[in-house]
Amino acid sequence: MLKKLFGSKKTEKQTEETVFAPLTGKLLQLEEVPDPVFSQKMMGDGMAIEPSEGILVSPVEGEIIQLFHTKHAIGIRSQTGMEILLHIGLETVAMNGEGFEAFVKEGDSVKPGDKLISFDLDLIKEKAASTITPIIITNGDIVESVQKASVGQVNGGKDKVFDIKVK
């Protein structure tokens, strides 16, 4: 009777999650990324987006676990425990932060659509290998299944890129 009145303390661990597009642009299969580290899934499975605008938003509800000092990449741990790496462009680390502005820091809580980083798309086109941005699940060992969305145009924070189920 007390459980009915006050609720149970036991909370169910979330096991399913939707990962939304962190950018507006063209959704691509990971195999299409012109960098073997990503296309051969050396860092993990995922998808990629060729952005049409320079705003990176959170694809999930979770916590910022890593923000690279060059602001070209960010890591997020979602509510299911899945860890996602968002890597803006290819070979953008060499830009040493030029053209990137972060709006979050490590330890911040985020939800889908929250602005994480803005970046100068034209500058990346000029100085880096590509604007293509991989979305990588870096701890795939906890993932039971991934249902990927069809490739094509996506809106950042609104359209899903995959649904996952964790073990």
Q: For residue 23, count other CB atoms closer than 10 A to its CB.
A: 28
Cα 147 from chain centroid? 15
Catalytic residue among 54, 68, 73, 87: 87
Query: 90 - beta bridge partners?
Result: 130
Q: Which residues contact 35 (CB under 8 A, 6 or more apart)?
A: 90, 91, 129, 130, 134
DSSP label at residue 100: E
Instruction: Report the alpha-carbon distance of residue 117 to residue 139 in Å, rounded.
Output: 23
70-88 as b/e: b if 16+ CB within 10 A: ebbbbbbbbebbbbbbbbb
87 as an active site residue: the answer is: yes
C-alpha distances in Å from residue 89, one per residue of 79, 127, 163: 26, 10, 23
* Catalytic (active-site) positions: 87
